[in-house]
Structure 1
Amino acid sequence: MDKLLNEIRHCSVCKEHLPYAPRPIIQASRAAKVVVIGQAPGLKVQQSGIPWDDASGDNLRSWLGVSRETFYNDKLLALMPMGFCYPGAGKSGDLPPRPECAPLWHPPVLESMPEVRVTLLIGQYAQAYYLKNRRKSTLTETVKSYQTYLPEYLPLPHPSPRNNIWQKKNSWFREDVLPTLQSIVLPLLTTNNEY
């Protein structure tokens, strides 16, 4: 796993498409029980080199009911985006994740983590890639149908503060999905790990 992570962190496959020098962001270990697959690092994360080191990460940790210490324990959680580097800014937010990363790096990373029990698919890009034709016509419907994808996957909206309005419109998310999320994830994060 260390060799693979080193290869990923030195990847420059799409450097000509990036606004900054490549800085692939990932957290993983063979012992991880939960995989969080997000979109791509934002500019703040690209600069810090720490995955989910922003307001979206604060919201995600709140949804999971975990501390920063637990969240950044690679023996418990793997944090892997669809695009490993900041893709740049678009007209209404960041550009989509670069398409090269997931097909190149996701399979060997996932194969190196035999203890994974659930994968959280955050946002439309992760859901489109992993659920393919099983996803519903909208992200809202896909998240609402989360039980369809368990126990392997649990689809979630992006925890960006920009989505606070979506959360207010969809109260079922806090009432139903988040308690289920915590009931699945928290026991996995509190079990003793021998690694």
Structure 2
Amino acid sequence: MTLAREIAACRLCADRFAATATRHAPRPVPWFRPSARVLIAGQAPGMRVHEAGKPFFDRSGDRLRDWMGVTSEEFYDLDRVACVPAAFCFPGYSAKRADLPPPPICAQTWQDKVMSALPELQIRILVGAYAHRNHLRVKTSLTETVRNWRAYAPGVFVLPHPSWRNTAWLRRNPWFEDELLPELKRAVGAVMAPEPSDGRGNT
């Protein structure tokens, strides 16, 4: 059984999810292959991703793809893009309909195994404060971390979450779209480009 299939079959959090306001069953959304060159690291799937079984299958995903300068077809090309959140399942909602945090047991069980299975990564895109803390161990605020993006690029890009709830943040920080996004698009474009052929059909 492949690692992705092992994760898809995981039911470690079944009791935890059954106790949430959504009372849903686990549905892990593993999205990676060893050939992936670009890593998208986030927090956890939302309800729409849980229902669709595809990462960033929502308006946030539309904005993220625009930030990266890629099409939907390119983004969902498993041979080039891996999506590895801190938790592979939708954690559910609280009684007040607030998003619950990802259960730590998911990352503790799977993250090191998945990262070891991705030897071809060239760019890591860390989406949101949770991913910043998880991958970089930073303690700075999201704004401070993203403002310091040049310290991590071009191998790592730190982004706010592309949720439409962050539209006000984007308006307050125009340097993000003016300075960071052009560099992100250039870096992603270079990595996503097909490998040149040697003239005999080989790459």
The reply to whether TM is greater than 0.5 is yes
CA 1:62 to 1:80, structure 2 compared with 1: closer, same or farther past 3 Å? Answer: same
Distance in 2 (alpha carbons) for counterparts of 1:163 and 1:92:
19
Is 1:38 the counterpart of 2:42? The answer is yes
Instruction: Give the corresponding residue for 2:163.
Output: 160
Task: Give % identity.
Answer: 40
Instruction: Give the corresponding residue for 1:10.
Output: 9
Partner residue of 1:178 out of 177, 181, 199: 181
Distance in 2 (alpha carbons) for counterparts of 1:51 and 1:5:
14
Report the alpha carbon displacement of residue 102 of structure 1 after superposing the two structures with TM. 1.5
Instruction: Give the corresponding residue for 2:77.
Output: 73
Check the 8 A contact 2:133/2:139 in 1, yes or no: no
Report the alpha carbon displacement of residue 191 of structure 1 after superposing the two structures with TM. 2.8
Structure 2 residue runs of 5 or longer lacking an equivalent are 18-22, 197-201
Matched ranges for 1:121-160 at <5 A: 121-132=126-137, 135=138, 137-160=140-163
Partner residue of 2:112 out of 103, 107, 111: 107
Distance in 2 (alpha carbons) for counterparts of 1:3 and 1:161:
35
CA 1:29 to 1:22, structure 2 compared with 1: closer, same or farther past 3 Å? Answer: same
Distance in 1 (alpha carbons) for counterparts of 2:65 and 2:10:
28
Report the alpha carbon displacement of residue 136 of structure 1 after superposing the two structures with TM. 5.0
Instruction: Give the corresponding residue for 1:28.
Output: 32
Report the alpha carbon displacement of residue 184 of structure 1 after superposing the two structures with TM. 1.0
In our comparison, the structure showing a higher alpha carbon Rg is 2
Report which stretch shifted further, 161-170 or 96-105. 96-105
CA RMSD of aligned residues (A): 1.7
Distance in 2 (alpha carbons) for counterparts of 1:152 and 1:63:
16
Distance in 1 (alpha carbons) for counterparts of 2:43 and 2:32:
16
Distance in 2 (alpha carbons) for counterparts of 1:136 and 1:8:
29
Aligned to 1:87, the other structure's residue is in SS state: coil
TM-score (norm: length of structure 2): 0.89
Aligned to 1:100, the other structure's residue is in SS state: helix
Partner residue of 1:58 out of 58, 62, 68: 62
Aligned to 1:121, the other structure's residue is in SS state: strand
Structure 1 residue runs of 5 or longer lacking an equivalent are none
Report the alpha carbon displacement of residue 21 of structure 1 after superposing the two structures with TM. 0.8
Aligned to 2:192, the other structure's residue is in SS state: helix
Report the alpha carbon displacement of residue 27 of structure 1 after superposing the two structures with TM. 1.0
Letter in 1 for 2:175: W
Distance in 2 (alpha carbons) for counterparts of 1:105 and 1:186:
29
Report the alpha carbon displacement of residue 13 of structure 1 after superposing the two structures with TM. 1.2
